[in-house]
Amino acid sequence: MLVATLWILFSDQLIGLVFHDPLVLAVAGTLKGWFFVAVSGAFLYRILNSLERSHRDALLPLPETARPGQLITVFLVLTAVLVLSGVLIYSSLAESIRRQQVEELEAVAQIKAGQVAEWVEARRAYAVDRSQGPFLMDVLETWQRSGDPQIEARLSARLQQDQHSHAYEAIELADADGNSLLTVGNLRHSADQLQEITRRALQSPTPVLADLSAISGDSRIHLSFAAQVRDHTRPERPVFGVMAFTLDARRELFPLAQAWPRKSASGEIVILRREGDQVVFLNDLRHRSPGQTALSFPVDSLLPAAQAMRIGPGNYAGPDYRGVPVLAAARAVSGTPWMLMAKIDQNEVFASVRGLAIASTAIVASIVAALALFLGMIWRQQRLREALVLRHSEDSYRSLFENMLNAVAH
């Protein structure tokens, strides 16, 4: 009882330290129980065998015993059953863990894509709120006609307040031709970039997303929201121009998108965009140094990111940008041309299963060895019994023969 209690206590603690997944813990507990039963059976047989030896002289001839071939057959059958059971349990457990991880990736990708979409929509709403209204239009038209420096100073102060209160890197005001009129902040789009942003904004009734890109003279990745400057109370009034709100994606967007919900050695969230026949990784990658140029791969490659761009949202498996096999789930980010993908290394997913496989192999090997020892002891005991029966028969015949001789002599 004491040994059994100590075994249960310490073996459970050891398994809890080595494995953490509930499914793995359950299977490890089952294998641990098998091992304990096998060892206990071997010890019990040994004890009973020792007690039986003390009464050998009292043994009677036994019925026909099992032949060596029969014992070997039993050993091989039981070994095959144990090995097959181990393989089936391992396969079932590996598939269960894979499904569980895929479901987690789906949930992470769905939640993160939703969070990013909500963040983008909130920034669009702010751009509309700050760029459209009758008072702003009146001030801008007066300033454009008069060139009054005091009006310009008030406009600049207003834009600076917006910049600092919402962590924008810069806010730019352009006329309907894309010419820069006023800028606050240390960043400035090139003339070509600002004209392209203006053209797109004037064609859209809602703020446009000037996609993740670098601005000349700055190594950071920026994201701009451009909205028409107009009087929303009077739709017939001409559009004055465009206001572009630019922020640092590494500081404002990437931390939101890349936060993994639990501790993971390889879990990673990437933001993807298709550019022609290439799939581009837009955000900083976990396994590359920050600030490196964006990675791109052919869209017809085997990468899960490329598969997602070809096929659409879904679950994928294959080598990632490092060539490491991963499981991945991709979801589209509403209101953007982006695809968000959550991925994790297959080595991390199946690490606990491999540890269990090693432990299971050791336990099954121990059970097989105990079984071989048990059957060997049975065979040996049968040989001893046969020898005892033979000696008992010889003693009986010798006694009978001697008694017959004594009778003849008398």
- Contact in structure between 263 and 246 (CB atoms under 8 Å): no
Question: H/E/C letters for each residue in 249-276?
Answer: HHHHCHHHHHCCCCCCCCCEEEEEEEEC
Does 298 score more than 90 pLDDT? yes
6 — pLDDT class (breaks 50, 70, 90): very low
In this predicted model, what pLDDT tens digit does every residue of 261-270 receive, in sequence order? Answer: 888 889 999 9
* Strand 268-275 versus strand 278-281 pairing type: antiparallel
First to last CA, the chain: 64
**Which carries the bigger pLDDT value, residue 114 or residue 7?**
114
Going from the C-alpha of 402 to that of each of 388, 390, 407, the distances in angstroms are: 21, 18, 9
395 — pLDDT class (breaks 50, 70, 90): low
The structural domains of the chain, ordered by start, are 98-120+260-349 (3.30.450.20), 132-254 (3.30.450.20)
**Which carries the bigger pLDDT value, residue 319 or residue 40?**
319
277-283: average pLDDT:
90
The region of weakest confidence among 234-238, 372-376, 391-395 is 391-395
pLDDT at 394: 60
204-231: average pLDDT:
78
Does 205 score more than 70 pLDDT? yes
In this predicted model, what pLDDT tens digit does every residue of 98-156 receive, in sequence order? Answer: 888 899 999 999 999 999 999 999 999 999 999 987 888 888 889 888 888 999 999 99
Task: State percent of the chain over pLDDT 70.
Answer: 69
DSSP string, 322-350: TS-EEEEEEEE-TTSS-EEEEEEEHHHHT
Compute the distance between CA of residue 255 and CA of residue 252 in angstroms, rounded to an integer.
Answer: 7
In this predicted model, what pLDDT tens digit does every residue of 383-393 receive, in sequence order? Answer: 666 666 666 66
**Which carries the bigger pLDDT value, residue 79 or residue 197?**
197
The region of weakest confidence among 1-5, 40-44, 229-233, 333-337 is 1-5
76-95: average pLDDT:
75
Compute the distance between CA of residue 234 and CA of residue 205 in angstroms, rounded to an integer.
Answer: 14
